[in-house]
Amino acid sequence: MAGVAAMALANVILGASSLYWRALSHVSPTTLLGYRILVSLITLGIVLALLKRMRPVVDAASDSRLLLLHLMAAILVCANWLTFIWGSVHGHVLETGLGYLIAPAVTIVLGAGVMRERLDSVRVVALVLCLSGIILLIARSHELESWVYLTIGTTWGIYSFLKKLTTADPFTGLTLETAILAVGVGVTVLASTYSLAPGPDADTSDFVLLALCGVVSVTPLWLISFGAKKITLSTAGFLQYVLPTTQLVVALVFYGQQPSGNTLVSYAMVWLSLILILVYPVLRARRPGSAPTEPPALAEDRRSGL
């Protein structure tokens, strides 16, 4: 029960974090991204130092293959974070939630194309259904910013695929990626006009909120890591719905977004595709003589934070 509660709470925090970023809406999204990177690195460093787990980060950084892998992952998570923050600040939360529904399909396509993983008929149907929903969204849901859900879905899907290739644990991987991004922030500040100044309208409450952005990022990761050790893969898979569901509620209740009928139908199509992706491996694993099968993209999605 504790594992389910931790995993569910983590996804609620991730989904509701749009409200946190909206509270800082008068600060530039790129500036917010810089603070998220730097403060998250400080927070992760403190946590790993207290747990005496700094050595794995040093070992991963000294491995050229892992370093390159996490460099690519860092670029993707940077784009993902910036898009999520932009969507939260500018009121496009329906799109960010939709992006995380699309992401598992992206990971499956990469697994099939790059790793030559076999696609069964059910997953093919799920992918066709997801793609059809996306096409409908792009063609007819003009109230949505299509680049937001396409960027979120693509970056998180590829990120999840890359993280399946690493031997580093979630905290080590995220710390290494955040450290890489922190170096990028430092170089950008020195070599361009980019600034971390929150603006002339910032007050004490803004600085307090900015200081908490590391907690907002790291706490869900810790909860997911804790919960993943105590629940089954199938349960963790279904809890993936909590994040986009939370985002949907936040979009409708707090942001007042009004989805068109086409958006609701398309959203349902993408939602159904994820149900097929998650349910079929569970049902197949229950057949006599079948070995348990982990849903694609689940291993990393259940461990990583936004």
**Whether 94 contacts 251, CB under 8 Å:** yes
Q: What is the pLDDT of residue 143?
A: 95
- Quick one: pLDDT at residue 191? 95
Which residues of the chain fall short of a pLDDT of 50?
A: 292, 296-300, 302-303, 305
Q: How many C-beta neighbours within 10 Å does residue 256 have?
A: 8
| Tokens coding 180 | 């890489």
How far is CA 154 from each of CA 119, 204, 237, 276, 293, rounded to the nearest angstrom? 19, 37, 19, 20, 24
Look at residue 109 and tell me if it is in a domain: yes
CA distance 163 to 158: 9
280 contacts: CB under 8 Å, gap ≥ 6: 120, 122, 123, 126
- What's the pLDDT score for residue 290? 55
Residue 306 maps to a domain: no
Q: What are the structure tokens assigned to 144, written together? A: 């949505």
For 51, residues 6+ apart whose C-beta sits below 8 A from its C-beta are: none
- The rounded radius of gyration (Å) of the Cα atoms in the chain is 19
Residue 26 covered by a domain: yes
Tally the domains of the chain: 1
* Domain that residue 83 falls in: 2-301
Rounded to 5 degrees, what angle do the CA atoms 61, 54, 11 make? 90
Judge if pTM exceeds 0.85: yes
> Is 233 inside any structural domain?
yes
Q: How far apart are CA 268 and CA 41, in angstroms?
A: 37
The residue among 239, 169, 238 whose CA lies nearest residue 6 is: 239
